[in-house]
Structure 1
């Protein structure tokens, strides 16, 4: 899965779970300030990413996630550990 495909899946997750318009989910968008996620939403997002990748996200790794780009990087590293 390449970066564009991951972004597309992340946009679907945001739309389906948080009612956020896909056009707002840009790599530079800040999860908490621009997309209005809260800490519970962040946990839900982590669970959805785990379902998407089939890999467990370590909480300490997800704490540093602040932007959509960070989410994409986290998914890429999860997928890389599968290979």
Structure 2
């Protein structure tokens, strides 16, 4: 998966599962301040990433994720390194 494909998958998950307007989603969008995420939403997103990639995110991997771009980078690293 390329970073663009990861971004597209994440965007689809955010729209479908979190009811976020597609127009609000960008690589720079902050999950917490721009998209109104809370810690439960972050856990749900990590679970959705697991279902899409088949790979389990460790909590410490997701801890530094603030933006959609951060999430894309974490998933990209997870896909490369398993």
2:21 aligned with 1:21: yes
Measured after TM superposition, the shift of residue 51 of structure 1 is: 1.0
Higher relative contact order, chain-length normalized (CA < 8 Å, sep 6+): 2
2:61 aligned with 1:56: no
Equivalent-residue separation in structure 2 for 1:31 and 1:16 (angstroms)? 16
Measured after TM superposition, the shift of residue 25 of structure 1 is: 1.1
Across the aligned residues of Structure 1 and Structure 2, the Cα RMSD in angstroms comes to 0.9
Q: Which runs of 4+ in 1 moved over 3 A?
A: none
TM-score normalised according to structure 1 size:
0.93
Measured after TM superposition, the shift of residue 32 of structure 1 is: 0.2
Gaps of 5+ in 2: none
TM-score normalised according to structure 2 size:
0.95
Q: Which residue of the partner structure matches residue 81 of structure 1? A: 81
* Equivalenced residues, count: 82
